[in-house]
Amino acid sequence: MSSAMKAHGLDGTLVEPDWPPLTLDEVRGVLGEYQNLGEPTKLLSVSPRPFSAASVVATPSEHVFIKRHHRAVRDANGLNEEHRFIAYLRAHGAATPRVYAAASGATAIELDEWTYEVHETLDGADLYEDALSWTPFQSVAHARSAGQALARLHQASAGYDAPVRKHRPLVAGFTIFAGPDPGAELNDYIAARPALADYLERRSCRDEALELLAPFHAELLQLLHAVPPLWTHNDLHASNLLWSDSSADARAVAVIDFGLADRTSAVHDLAQAIERNIVEWLALVEEPLHPERVPVHFDHLNALLDGYESVRPFKCEEAAALAPMTALCHAEFALSETDYFLSVLHSEEKARMACEGYLVAHARWFRGAGSKLLDALRAWAAVHGQVHDAVRR
């Protein structure tokens, strides 16, 4: 198998994909459900993303993006949660690709064990197509533009009042640390996922993560009243943006891939963007005994924050909540990913990497070497508050 048909591994290497790539015959069957897209003529790309299979496909009239999920990961109801959010964003001015509807009117097509979705391809350069999460922006200008794009998305999302998503693998929600008793919320989260519950009975991940993250929850808890809920993207890495051109000054022109979207908050979404882009976590995988060597791109952090606030300024309490949220925001997705590896892929090896190498190791980093990042966010929030006080005076 060529490197173009391999997937991103948990350690940053290219590995055999968990899901077979799309084929032209398969895509032909999918597009047969649609009236106006025509026959596929060529698969133009093979996505290296690990949780599904996807390709840009040429038809006689246009290029479309087709994504296939196993129904244990996303059935039609699960995809419809995402598609309704995308439709709302588009109706409120967000630059996101349209999801095509089949002749039946459905935007999620179930065939055999698979669920498919077909998106339009927008104009824009896919500069980070092969970039993994936890790898940095190519330039400070890209970081600033990404912050602006995220703020515009949050403006478009305002008023969307769908409830929190149902229990599904691979969703980056925020429920466990959103109230006064994260231990009880975590118990409920685990109880709803039998494979995860069985696994954690035999591991120390649960209690260790709660202990490590407790100070950040205490810091956040006093600010949660001022952090309003919002439907958010929850995976704004540079690879989920399309860009105006290939230069170092390129602008983010569209946001793609809403697979992790859920009802969280703007603070949570910005914290996720920091976690995905600013910290090179793969260095911790390579050298777990040297957490101090994990690169943190403070120039990109400042640009991301400046870009965001140039469009949608935070209130003082939201700014203060960003540091503890950044330490906490990975936890729920790490657990969701652990459950996916157990209940869908049946791989305890990958589950161990997600639970111990992601959930616990990242929490431990924030209690040690990562305190510099959190202190930088607290300093930013303090200046933010002083500026707002001066404006009010």
| The CATH fold of domain 3-120 | Phosphorylase Kinase; domain 1 (3.30.200)
Break the chain into its structural domains and give their ranges: 3-120, 140-392
Looking at residue 8, its pLDDT comes to 60
Tens digit of each residue's pLDDT (9 = 90 or more) over 167-219: 999 999 999 999 999 999 999 999 999 999 999 999 999 999 999 999 999 99
Architecture of domain 140-392: Alpha-Beta Complex (3.90)
Q: Which residue has the tokens 């979705």?
A: 117
Cα within 13 Å of Cα(386), Cβ side = 6
Distance set, CA 378 to CA 191, 234, 300, 302 (Å) = 35, 22, 16, 12
Mean pLDDT across 128-136: 87
Tens digit of each residue's pLDDT (9 = 90 or more) over 47-84: 988 899 999 999 998 999 999 999 999 999 999 999 99
Indicate whether 1 pLDDT > 50: no
pLDDT band at 12 (very low <50, low <70, confident <90, very high): low
Looking at residue 130, its pLDDT comes to 84
From CA 363, how far away is CA 333, in angstroms rounded?
Answer: 13
Tens digit of each residue's pLDDT (9 = 90 or more) over 234-263: 999 999 999 999 999 999 999 999 999 999
pLDDT band at 5 (very low <50, low <70, confident <90, very high): low
Give the H or E element holding residue 120: strand 114-120
Indicate whether 393 pLDDT > 80: no
From CA 314, how far away is CA 150, in angstroms rounded?
Answer: 13
